[in-house]
Amino acid sequence: MPGSLDERLVRELSFPRERPWSLYDHPNLIRVASVLCFLTAWEIYGRRTDPLLLTYPTAVFWAAVQLIRSGELFRQLLVSLASLSVGFGASLLLGVGLGLAAGRSRLAEALLDPHINALYATPQVALTPLLMMWFGLGFSVKVVIVFLFAFFPILINTASGVKNVSGSMVEVGRAYMASEQQLLLKVVFPAALPFIMAGVRLAVGRALVGMIVAELFTAITGLGAMLTLYGNLFETAKMFVVIIVLGLLGVGLIQATQALERRMARWKETERAVS
Amino acid sequence: MLEVRHLSKVFFEQNDPQKPGLIALYDISLSVRRNEFVCLLGPSGCGKTTLIRIIAGLLPADRGEVLVNGNPVTSPGRDRCMVFQQFGLLPWRTVLGNVEFGLEIEGMGREERRDISRQYLELVGLKGFEDYYPHQISGGMQQRVGIARALSKKPDILLMDEPFGAVDAQTREQLQEELLKIWAKTDTTVIFVTHSIDESIYLSDRVVIMHSRPGRIKEEVAVELPRPRWEGDVKADPRFAQLRARVRESLRE
């Protein structure tokens, strides 16, 4: 066993195993302290400011309790999540599908290229009023906007990931007589997966932005609508509740994608750790 | 078994139609018997890799043809398997998964291909490494996986493109010896590309010496050293030294 000799030598030379306690070894302590300081300062400053403009942490807390008790927060969150997941799911399917096609076939690339570049370069927010004319103010317009926001990073990353798959890898597939479909599923897709997942991570953040943009514009249901509503009523504390929920949602979703990314691209992760 | 007839290959510059193009192979003819071990030896740029890729069916010939068992080669086939210089392993698959790859493409059932792959991993001395990923094992071990993957398909012809070029000298000698042992156990024909004179003599029945610009066959040298060659020190045999001198002379001209 490799450990035993090391262990004996450590004991023989009596290297100290313990390090003296240091603040540097406990970054979480520093983090908690930092957040507490910030909240205290906010509380003190916030209580002295006009409540129309700024609120303070304890007020936000009680507003949150109220919104959760009435069920409003949960109801609107579900509405938002529904459009988010449908729109994001569609962008995932289409983005990966078209990205594989564009990366693999020059014909598909030339066909898709001009449209994608034009649409991607246009700020998608600019399309929102038009989309509202086409799709109304309900569920469907939100899905379309979320889709448009999330679609491009997935598509573009998938296409460039596929193009970056090394020729020798594809050649291995061909040498073992893989059909084009097998090549795609068993060689190209797994090889491009780390790229695709990076695109998915970007897309999650943008999908969230798309969701809020859509709800702010349509202002009927969802978290974005809550923001508009309480903004108009000057209920600042309730606006903060919504903003914090959105922040947590963003963090949660991105963490979930990263976890998924690590799982799916485990070989890449360990490869990096080793070399 | 394998017949190469008047094969020529030219590469044109894609962006510049004015350039004359590079004659990678010029009028290559070669025939290989069943169960023979043939080395293609030559300097870089002599087209030996191009030749083996055409034989593998990965590259089309411009003139001439390649026949395997009398059938013309136009694409990769199950009668030929390739071992790659950079191993060509799929990094997201485990060692076992990589060996399975060829059989999986063929559509063989999971249990059956696992069994076969395990047998071949044992043959190349990698029993116990089934669940490792390629980057977790050494280069020499990675190439053993490559060899196991090729052998698992029981090819008539094993095509090896500088398979030991990317491993260190000691591992290389060890792999050479093991390759000879494996070859003795199976009855495959081997075409082996190398630029090492010693390697070509140690391994093969016949060394095909190639020259560059244009890539062509200069000479064929029969190696009549006794087999098995891993017993005793073949490289110390005076006949080995003679062959080495002869081959070196031929390469220099």
Please report, for residues A39, A47, A240, A244, the alpha-carbon distance to residue A51 in angstroms, rounded to integers and kept in the order given: 17, 8, 12, 18
- CA B80 to chain A, closest CA, distance in angstroms equals 9
DSSP summary character for residue B73:
P
Is A192 within 8 Å of A103 (Cβ atoms)?
yes
Helix (H) or strand (E) holding B249: helix B238-252
Find chain A residues with C-beta within 8 A of B106's C-beta.
Answer: 177
Give the per-residue pLDDT at A273: 52
Residue A85 in this model has a pLDDT that exceeds 90: yes
Report whether pLDDT(A33) > 90: yes
Domain around A233: 57-274
CA distances A118 to A34, A124, B36, B84, B145, Å, are: 45, 11, 60, 42, 47
For chains A and B, count residue pairs whose Cβ atoms are closer than 8 Å.
Answer: 60
> What is the reported pLDDT for A266?
66
CB contact under 8 Å between A186 and B104, yes or no, is: yes
| A154 domain residue, yes or no | yes
Give chain B positions within 8 Å (CB) of A187: 90
DSSP string across A118-184: HHHHS-GGGGHHHHHHHHTTSHHHHHHHHHHHHHHHHHHHHHHHHHHS-HHHHHHHHHTT--HHHII
Specify if A15 maps to a domain. no
Q: What's residue A92's pLDDT?
A: 94
Peptide bond into B91 cis (omega under 30): no
In a domain, A49, yes or no: no
Mean pLDDT in order along chain B per 10 residues (253 residues): 81 73 82 88 84 87 84 83 89 90 87 88 86 86 90 88 86 87 86 89 88 83 80 79 85 80
Residues forming a β-bridge with B161: B193
Selected for mutation to probe chain A from B54, B78, B105, B137 (highest A CB count within 10 Å) is B105
SS3 label, residue B31: strand
Which pLDDT score, from 0 to 100, does residue A274 have?
47
Please report residues of A whose CB lies closer than 8 A to that of B81. 175-176
Nearest-CA distance from B86 to chain A in Å? 9
Cis peptide before B228 (omega within 30 of 0): yes
Task: To the nearest 10°, report the CA torsion of A62, A66, A69, A73.
Answer: -110
Q: Give the number of C-alpha atoms closer than 13 A to the C-alpha of residue B183, restricted to the C-beta side.
A: 26
| Count of domains forming chain A | 1
Is the Cβ pair B153, A275 closer than 8 Å? no
Contact predicate A232/A191, CB 8 Å? no
Encoded amino acid at A63, one letter: A
Which ipTM did the prediction report? Answer: 0.84
Could you tell me if residue A165 is inside a domain? yes
Is the per-residue pLDDT at A275 higher than 50?
no
* Cα–Cα distance, B157 to B89 (Å, whole number): 20
* A263 domain residue, yes or no: yes
User: Do residues A189 and B116 lie in contact, with contact meaning Cβ atoms separated by under 8 Å?
Assistant: no
Indicate if the alpha-carbon torsion angle B190, B196, B198, B201 is positive or negative: positive
* pTM assigned to the model: 0.79
Distance from C-alpha of A113 to C-alpha of A119, rounded to nearest angstrom: 10
Quick check: A267 and B133 CB within 8 A? yes
**Nearest beta carbon to residue A187 from set B75, B90, B153:** B90
A18 is a domain residue: no
Residue B217, SS3 per DSSP? strand
Q: Nearest 5°: CA angle at A113, between A86 and A213?
A: 35
Min Cα–Cα distance to chain B from A167, Å: 10
Report whether pLDDT(A39) > 90. Answer: yes
* Predicted local confidence at residue A87, as pLDDT: 94
How far the first Cα of chain B sits from its last, in Å, is 31
Residues of A in contact with B84 (CB under 8 A): 168, 171-172, 175
Q: What is the mean pLDDT of residues A120-133?
A: 86
Asked whether the beta carbons of B33 and B198 are under 8 A apart, the reply is no
Q: CA angle, corner B135, sides to B119 and B55, nearest 5?
A: 60
Q: Is B133 in contact with A270 (Cβ distance < 8 A)?
A: yes
Q: Can you tell me the mean pLDDT for A119-133? A: 86
At residue A220 the predicted structure's pLDDT band, cuts being 50, 70 and 90, is: confident
Share of chain A above pLDDT 70, in %: 95
- Contacts with B36 (C-beta within 8 Å, 6 or more apart), sequence order: B1, B189, B190, B205, B206
The winner for highest mean pLDDT among A96-100, A115-119, A179-183 is A96-100
For residue A242, the tally of other CB atoms under 10 A from its CB is: 27
First to last CA, chain A: 24
pLDDT in tens, A139-188: 889 999 999 999 999 999 999 999 988 888 998 998 888 888 888 889 99
Quote the pLDDT of residue A82.
Answer: 92
Does A243 fall in a domain? yes
* Interface touch B91/A177, C-beta < 8 Å: no
A169/B88 Cβ within 8 A: yes
Does A99 score more than 90 pLDDT? yes
Whether A268 has a pLDDT exceeding 90, the answer reads no
CB contact under 8 Å between B105 and A172, yes or no, is no
Specify if A63 maps to a domain.
yes
For position A2, what pLDDT does the model report?
Answer: 52
- The one-letter amino acid code at B44 reads S
CB contact under 8 A, A175 and B81: yes
The CATH number that applies at residue A246 is: 1.10.3720.10
Whether residue B41 contacts residue B251, with contact meaning beta carbons closer than 8 Å, is answered with yes
Contacts of A169 in chain B (CB under 8 A): 88, 90
